[in-house]
C-alpha cells in the first residue's frame, strides 16, 4: 500500500513539472518556435552594426571622441636645456604656464690654445625662466619667456679681481625677454612629421649698460641688442 502511495506521489509531481519543461515537451517547444518566428526582428542598434537601427551621427560622435582622446595624448609644449620646444602648437583659447629652473657651476676655462686651466675662482649662475603660452588661432600660438638670472663670484684671484681687490660679488635681475610666434604648416601624418614655422624676438631687457668693475663682470645678464630668429620646427 505504501509503494502505491509513493507511485501516485511521483506521478502527480511529474504531471505538474512536465508542462513547464519546454525543452523536453514537444508541444511547448513548437509553440515557442512559432512565437519566435512571428515576433518582429530585434533592434540592431545595440549591436552597433550597419543594418537596421544604424545611426551615422553616433558613429561620427565616436570618431570625434577618439580624435579628442588622441589629441589629449599628444605631448605638451616643453622647453628647457634638455627637452626642446615641441612643434605641436597649443589648442586655440588654451593658456599654459611652464617654469624652468637651472643652476650652473664654472670651475675651469680654456685658453686660446684650448688648454684647460682654472677659472680663477668659484662662479655660479642660477636661471629661472617662466614661459607663458596662449593659443591665438587654430595651429597658431605665441609664448613669452620671462627669464630671471643671478650670478655669484667667490674666491676670485689673479687679474680677475676688482679694482679695489674685490674677490666676491653677486648680481641678479631680469634677463632678456623672448617673444615667439609658432604656426603649424603641416600636421603629422603616416609619412610626414608635424612642421611649424617660428618667428622670435629677443628684447634687450637685461642689464648690460654701466657695468660695475667691482662686480667682477657678473652683472652683465643681458645681450644689449634685439635678436630676430626664424626657422622651422619638426617633431
- Which residues lie closer than 8 Å to 182 by C-beta, 6 or more apart? 85, 87, 89, 140, 141, 142, 143, 196, 197, 198, 233
- Separation between Cα atoms, residue 149 and residue 157, nearest integer Å: 24
Average pLDDT over residues 95-113: 90
Cβ atoms 78, 85 nearer than 8 A: yes
Q: Indicate the SS3 state at residue 133.
A: strand
Q: How does residue 108 score in pLDDT terms, banded at 50, 70 and 90?
A: confident
Percent of the chain exceeding pLDDT 90 equals 41
Cβ atoms 184, 192 nearer than 8 A: no
Percent of the chain exceeding pLDDT 70 equals 66
Q: Where are the domains of the chain?
A: 2-38, 75-234
Average pLDDT over residues 32-45: 54
* Predicted TM-score of the model (pTM): 0.63
Choose the most confident range, by mean pLDDT, from 50-54, 123-127, 186-190. Answer: 123-127
Q: What is the pLDDT of residues 57-81, one digit of tens each?
A: 676 777 666 666 555 545 555 554 4
Q: What is the mean pLDDT of the chain?
A: 78
Amino acid at each position: 500500500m505504501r509503494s502505491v502511495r509513493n507511485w501516485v506521489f511521483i506521478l502527480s509531481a511529474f504531471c505538474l513539472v512536465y508542462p513547464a519543461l519546454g525543452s523536453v515537451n514537444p508541444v511547448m517547444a513548437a509553440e515557442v518556435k512559432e512565437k519566435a518566428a512571428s515576433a518582429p526582428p530585434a533592434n540592431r542598434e545595440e549591436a552597433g552594426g550597419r543594418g537596421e537601427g544604424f545611426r551615422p551621427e553616433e558613429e561620427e560622435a565616436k570618431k570625434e571622441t577618439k580624435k579628442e582622446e588622441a589629441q589629449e595624448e599628444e605631448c605638451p609644449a616643453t622647453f628647457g636645456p634638455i627637452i626642446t620646444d615641441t612643434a605641436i602648437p597649443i589648442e586655440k583659447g588654451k593658456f599654459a604656464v611652464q617654469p624652468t629652473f637651472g643652476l650652473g657651476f664654472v670651475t675651469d676655462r680654456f685658453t686660446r690654445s684650448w688648454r684647460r686651466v682654472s677659472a680663477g675662482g668659484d662662479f655660479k649662475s642660477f636661471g629661472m625662466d617662466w614661459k607663458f603660452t596662449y593659443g591665438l588661432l587654430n595651429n597658431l600660438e605665441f609664448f613669452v619667456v620671462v627669464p630671471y638670472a643671478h650670478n655669484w663670484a667667490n674666491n676670485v684671484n689673479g687679474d680677475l679681481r676688482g679694482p679695489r681687490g674685490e674677490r666676491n660679488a653677486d648680481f641678479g635681475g631680469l634677463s632678456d625677454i623672448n617673444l615667439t610666434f609658432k604656426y603649424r604648416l603641416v600636421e603629422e601624418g603616416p609619412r610626414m612629421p608635424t612642421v611649424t614655422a617660428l618667428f622670435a624676438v629677443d628684447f634687450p631687457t637685461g642689464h648690460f649698460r654701466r657695468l660695475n668693475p667691482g662686480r667682477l663682470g657678473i652683472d652683465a645678464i643681458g645681450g644689449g641688442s634685439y635678436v630676430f630668429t626664424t626657422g622651422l620646427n619638426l617633431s
